[in-house]
């Protein structure tokens, strides 16, 4: 790689780190950048996952105040669920043809964008259907756990739009502020990427240079993004998540 290409990957990592901690479509920037440099798709995907790990870590650290508002059992449940799901996703990436999930991914992202957009109305409707006192949902239900695990599988396999999917799952299953859910989403992506990265290090073909350059950019971007995400009004954040998810899906369909 040339010096300009090195800078381009660092910049992609910076942007991806910001997106990790805000709208959750980090790979929208970093994965295409690696492909454009001629790195094979599976190598680029695995290298991208490892390179963005520092961004998820710094983003989770930036959201530490929000994460304190989530009960420990719920945090542990989300982390373990996503981590276990990511194991299956990483195995699928290495075992299946590259285009299997990629064909379905844009439609999954569009569907979850719809869920993020209409989540306030769905949540109000669900609350109106409950009998008795309206208790605040702060623990993971079996349904929320199952969908979070599936999102972890997708995150370990491909990752683009996994943050949007996780936001939809958590927003529908938990009655927490969107900024708190954003922190929990960032932490869940950290868990999924960590597990997938460990598997990729031992099994997958990787590009060490790309990993290092992405890591340099993403660690700064993740921390900056957490501060941006904390300050965005819930409605604006929801709109940005939907726009980013639709953009990712459209680009993947091309």
* Cα separation, 140 vs 26, whole angstroms: 26
Neighbouring residues of 120: CB distance < 8 A, sequence distance ≥ 6: none
The string of pLDDT tens digits covering residues 218-249 is 999 999 988 888 887 877 877 877 787 787 67
The torsion of the CA quartet 197, 203, 209, 211, rounded to 10 degrees, works out to -10
Mean pLDDT of 134-151: 83
* Cα separation, 34 vs 45, whole angstroms: 9
Nearest to 153 by CA among 114, 95, 110: 95
| Two structure tokens written together for 46 | 């695995």
* Cα separation, 252 vs 160, whole angstroms: 9
- At 157, the pLDDT band (50, 70, 90 cuts) reads confident
The string of pLDDT tens digits covering residues 180-213 is 888 898 899 889 889 989 988 988 889 999 999 9
The structure tokens 């991914």 sit at: 105
CA distances from 89 to 27, 155, 176, 191, 223 (A): 16, 7, 28, 13, 26
Helix ranges (H only) for the chain are 3-21, 27-36, 41-51, 53-62, 64-67, 72-95, 99-129, 142-157, 162-173, 178-203, 208-231, 234-253
Asked whether the whole model's pTM tops 0.85, one would answer no
The string of pLDDT tens digits covering residues 104-139 is 667 777 777 777 777 677 666 666 655 555 566 778
How does the average pLDDT of the chain come out, rounded?
83
User: 10 Å Cβ neighbour count for 203?
Assistant: 13
Nearest to 245 by CA among 151, 122, 105, 150: 105
pLDDT at 80 over 90: yes
CA distances from 216 to 119, 128, 197 (A): 35, 48, 16
25: helix, strand or coil: coil
**Backbone torsions φ then ψ of 124, nearest 5 degrees:** -65, -40
The predicted pLDDT at position 132 comes to: 54
The predicted pLDDT at position 126 comes to: 60
């Amino acid at each position: 790689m040339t010096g300009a290409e090195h800078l381009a990957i660092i910049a992609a990592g910076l942007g991806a780190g910001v997106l990790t901690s805000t709208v959750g479509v980090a790979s929208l920037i970093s994965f295409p950048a690696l492909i454009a440099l001629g790195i094979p798709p599976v190598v680029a995907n695995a290298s991208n996952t490892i390179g963005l790990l520092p961004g998820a870590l710094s983003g989770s650290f930036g959201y530490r105040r929000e994460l304190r508002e989530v009960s420990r059992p719920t945090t542990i449940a989300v982390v373990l669920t996503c981590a276990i799901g990511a194991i299956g996703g990483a195995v699928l990436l290495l075992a299946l043809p590259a285009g299997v999930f990629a064909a379905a991914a844009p439609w999954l992202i569009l569907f979850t964008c719809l869920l993020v957009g209409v989540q306030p109305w769905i949540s109000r409707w669900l609350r109106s259907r409950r009998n008795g006192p309206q208790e605040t949902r702060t623990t993971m239900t079996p349904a929320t756990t199952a969908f979070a695990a599936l999102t972890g599988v997708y995150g370990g396999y491909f990752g683009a739009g996994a943050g949007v999917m996780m936001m939809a799952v958590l927003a529908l299953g938990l009655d927490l502020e969107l900024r708190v859910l954003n922190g929990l989403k960032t932490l869940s992506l950290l868990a999924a990427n960590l597990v997938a990265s460990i598997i990729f290090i031992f099994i997958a073909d990787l590009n060490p240079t790309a990993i290092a350059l992405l890591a340099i950019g993403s660690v700064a971007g993740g921390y900056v993004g957490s501060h941006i995400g904390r300050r965005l009004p819930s409605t604006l954040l929801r709109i940005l998540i939907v726009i980013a998810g639709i953009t990712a899906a459209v680009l993947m369909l091309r």
